[in-house]
Amino acid sequence: MQINFGGREVALKLVYYGPALSGKTTNLRSLHELTVDGARGRLMTLETKDDRTLFFDMLPLAFRAESDKGGHVGMTLRIKIFTVPGQVTHASTRRLVLQGADAVAFIADSQIAETEHNAASFLDLRQNLKELGIVPKDMPVVIQFNKRDLGSIRSDHDIETLARRGKEPVFAAVAVNGQGVLETFFALLDVAWRKLDGQHRLAEMLGIESNELLPMAAKQLGLSVAIPKLLASSVAGSLERYLQGVQ
Amino acid sequence: MMGQRPVARESVVFDSIVPIEELVERDGLRELCQSFHALFGIGVRLYSVDGTLLAAAATDQELCSEVGASTVGRHACTATIAGVVSHDPGAAREVVVPCFTGASYYVAAIDYDGRRVGRLIVGPYVPVQTAGPPSTLNEAVPGLDPEKARLLLEKMPRAKPETIRRIGTHLKSALDLILFSGHKAHMTSKMHLASVRESYRELADKNERLQEAFDRLKELDRLKSQFLATVSHELRTPLTSIIGYSEMLVQGLAGEMRPDQLEFVRTIHDKGEQLVKLIMGLLDLGKLESGTMRVILRPTRLEPVLGEVVSTMAPLARKKGVRLDLSLSQTTALPEVQGDSERLRQVFINLVENAIKFTPAGGEVTLRAAVAPTDGEQDTDSQEDGLSVMAPTLWPVEVRVADTGIGIPVTERERVFDAFYQVDSSSTREHGGTGLGLAIVKRLVDAHAGTVFIEDGRPRGTVFVVALPQAGSASHG
- Contact across the interface for B198 and A76, Cβ inside 8 Å: no
Q: Which residue of A has its CA nearest to B15?
A: A11
Nearest CB among A62, A82, A131 relative to B7 is that of A131
Q: Are residues B245 and B320 in the same domain?
A: no
> Given CB atoms, is A100 within the 8 Å cutoff of chain B?
yes
> Higher confidence at residue B3 or residue B372?
B372
Domains and CATH numbers, chain A: 2-246 (3.40.50.300)
> Given CB atoms, is A123 within the 8 Å cutoff of chain B?
no
Residue A180: left if φ>0, alpha if ψ -120 to 50, beta else—which one? left
User: In degrees rounded to 5, what are phi and psi of residue B338?
Assistant: -90, 100
Q: Which residue of B has its CA nearest to A43?
A: B180
> Given CB atoms, is A193 within the 8 Å cutoff of chain B?
no
Nearest CB among B17, B115, B195 relative to A93 is that of B195
Nearest CB among B10, B15, B195 relative to A92 is that of B195
Q: Count contacts between A and B (CB, < 8 Å).
A: 69
Banded pLDDT at B31 (limits 50, 70, 90): very high
Q: Which residue of A has its CA nearest to B194?
A: A96
Banded pLDDT at B379 (limits 50, 70, 90): very low
Q: Are residues B354 and B254 in the same domain?
A: no
- Contact across the interface for B199 and A92, Cβ inside 8 Å: yes
Contacts of B218 (CB under 8 A, 6+ apart): none
How far, in Å, CA of B280 to CA of B434, rounded? Answer: 11
Nearest CB among B15, B176, B184 relative to A44 is that of B184
- Contact across the interface for B114 and A60, Cβ inside 8 Å: yes
Task: For residue B329, give the 3-state DSSP assignment.
Answer: coil
Banded pLDDT at B378 (limits 50, 70, 90): very low
Q: Are residues B228 and B116 in the same domain?
A: no
- Contact across the interface for B14 and A95, Cβ inside 8 Å: no
Q: Are residues B128 and B245 in the same domain?
A: no
Contacts of B380 (CB under 8 A, 6+ apart): none
Provide the residue range defining the domain that includes B225.
Answer: 197-288
> Given CB atoms, is B234 within the 8 Å cutoff of chain A?
no
Question: Is B10 within the bounds of a domain?
Answer: no
Nearest CB among B10, B15, B202 relative to A92 is that of B202
How far, in Å, CA of B398 to CA of B302, rounded? Answer: 10
Quick one: average pLDDT of B16-35? Answer: 86
> Given CB atoms, is B223 within the 8 Å cutoff of chain A?
no
Residues of chain B found within 8 Å of residue A2, distances taken between Cβ atoms:
14-15
Residues of chain B found within 8 Å of residue A60, distances taken between Cβ atoms:
113-114
Q: Are residues B217 and B144 in the same domain?
A: no
pLDDT for the residue B10: 55
How far, in Å, CA of B13 to CA of A56, rounded? Answer: 10
- Contact across the interface for B191 and A99, Cβ inside 8 Å: no
Distance from CA of A90 to the nearest CA of B (A): 9
pTM of model > 0.80: no
pLDDT for the residue B458: 67
AA identity, residue A48: T
Question: Is B12 within the bounds of a domain?
Answer: no
pLDDT for the residue A61: 92
Q: Are residues B178 and B201 in the same domain?
A: no
Question: Is B341 within the bounds of a domain?
Answer: yes
- Contact across the interface for A92 and B192, Cβ inside 8 Å: no
Distance from CA of A62 to the nearest CA of B (A): 6
In the predicted structure, residue B1 carries a pLDDT above the cut 50: no
Q: Are residues B209 and B187 in the same domain?
A: no
Q: Are residues B351 and B269 in the same domain?
A: no
Nearest to A105 by CA among A208, A161, A172, A185: A185
Nearest CB among B9, B180, B188 relative to A46 is that of B188
Which of B195, B228, B257 is the last residue before a domain boundary?
Answer: B195
Question: Is B77 within the bounds of a domain?
Answer: yes
Q: How many residues in total does chain B contain?
A: 477
Quick one: average pLDDT of B299-305? Answer: 92
AA identity, residue A203: A
Q: Are B205 and B5 in contact (CB under 8 A)?
A: yes
Q: Are residues B140 and B234 in the same domain?
A: no
pLDDT for the residue B18: 77
Q: What is the pLDDT of residues B113-150, one digit of tens each?
A: 888 889 999 989 999 988 888 989 888 888 888 899 89
- Contact across the interface for A46 and B191, Cβ inside 8 Å: yes
In the predicted structure, residue B6 carries a pLDDT above the cut 70: no
In the predicted structure, residue B161 carries a pLDDT above the cut 60: yes
- Contact across the interface for B15 and A96, Cβ inside 8 Å: no
- Dmax over Cα atoms in chain A, in whole Å? 57
> Given CB atoms, is A1 within the 8 Å cutoff of chain B?
no
The CATH number that applies at residue B218 is 1.10.287
> Given CB atoms, is B114 within the 8 Å cutoff of chain A?
yes
> Higher confidence at residue A149 or residue B18?
A149
> Given CB atoms, is A95 within the 8 Å cutoff of chain B?
yes
Nearest CB among A56, A132, A133 relative to B191 is that of A56
Q: What is the pLDDT of residues A10-38, one digit of tens each?
A: 899 999 999 999 999 999 999 999 998 88
Q: Which residue of A has its CA nearest to B189?
A: A55
Q: Which residue of B has its CA nearest to A8?
A: B115
pLDDT for the residue A69: 53
Question: Which candidate in A8, A42, A89 is best for mutational testing of the B interface (most B CBs within 10 A)?
Answer: A42
Q: How do strand A141-146 and strand A170-172 relate by DSSP bridges?
A: parallel
- Contact across the interface for A56 and B7, Cβ inside 8 Å: no
The alpha-helical segments, DSSP class H, found in B86-160 are 135-140, 146-155
The CATH number that applies at residue B428 is 3.30.565.10
**Of A73-82, A221-230, B240-249, B359-368, which range is least confident?**
A73-82
Distance from CA of A233 to the nearest CA of B (A): 30
Residues of chain B found within 8 Å of residue A62, distances taken between Cβ atoms:
113-114
Q: What is the pLDDT of residues B440-475, one digit of tens each?
A: 899 899 989 899 999 876 667 899 999 999 887 754
Quick one: average pLDDT of B314-335? Answer: 87
Q: Are residues B319 and B183 in the same domain?
A: no
Which of B257, B288, B319 is the last residue before a domain boundary?
Answer: B288
Q: Which residue of A has its CA nearest to B1?
A: A131
How far, in Å, CA of A10 to CA of A75, rounded? Answer: 8
Quick one: average pLDDT of A47-73? Answer: 74
The CATH number that applies at residue B140 is 3.30.450.40
How far, in Å, CA of B428 to CA of B435, rounded? Answer: 8
- Contact across the interface for B198 and A96, Cβ inside 8 Å: yes
Q: What is the pLDDT of residues A114-148, one digit of tens each?
A: 999 999 999 999 999 999 999 998 999 999 999 99
How far, in Å, CA of B131 to CA of B192, rounded? Answer: 59
ipTM exceeding cut-off 0.90 for this assembly: no
Which of B195, B227, B250 is the last residue before a domain boundary?
Answer: B195
- Contact across the interface for B12 and A11, Cβ inside 8 Å: no
pLDDT for the residue B392: 65
Distance from CA of A114 to the nearest CA of B (A): 27
Nearest to B403 by CA among B442, B435, B372, B357: B357
> Given CB atoms, is B169 within the 8 Å cutoff of chain A?
no
Question: Is B138 within the bounds of a domain?
Answer: yes
Q: How many residues in total does chain A contain?
A: 247
pLDDT for the residue B195: 87
Banded pLDDT at A233 (limits 50, 70, 90): very high
The alpha-helical segments, DSSP class H, found in B251-340 are 259-290, 302-320
> Given CB atoms, is B15 within the 8 Å cutoff of chain A?
yes
Residue A146 exposure: Cα atoms within 13 Å on the Cβ side:
30
Q: How do strand A44-47 and strand A53-65 relate by DSSP bridges?
A: antiparallel
> Given CB atoms, is A56 within the 8 Å cutoff of chain B?
yes
Question: Is B15 within the bounds of a domain?
Answer: no
> Higher confidence at residue A83 or residue B49?
A83
Contacts of A23 (CB under 8 A, 6+ apart): A107, A109, A146, A147, A173, A175, A176
Q: Are residues B174 and B315 in the same domain?
A: no
Residues of chain B found within 8 Å of residue A95, distances taken between Cβ atoms:
7, 198
Q: Are B347 and B445 in contact (CB under 8 A)?
A: yes
Question: Is B8 within the bounds of a domain?
Answer: no
Look at chain B and report how many structural domains it folds into.
3
Question: Is B37 within the bounds of a domain?
Answer: yes
Residues 9-48 of A with CB under 8 A from B: 11, 13, 41-42, 44, 46
Q: Are residues B191 and B122 in the same domain?
A: yes
> Given CB atoms, is B7 within the 8 Å cutoff of chain A?
yes
- pLDDT over 70 for what percent of chain B? 88
Mean pLDDT of the residues in chain B: 85
Q: Which residue of A has its CA nearest to B202?
A: A92
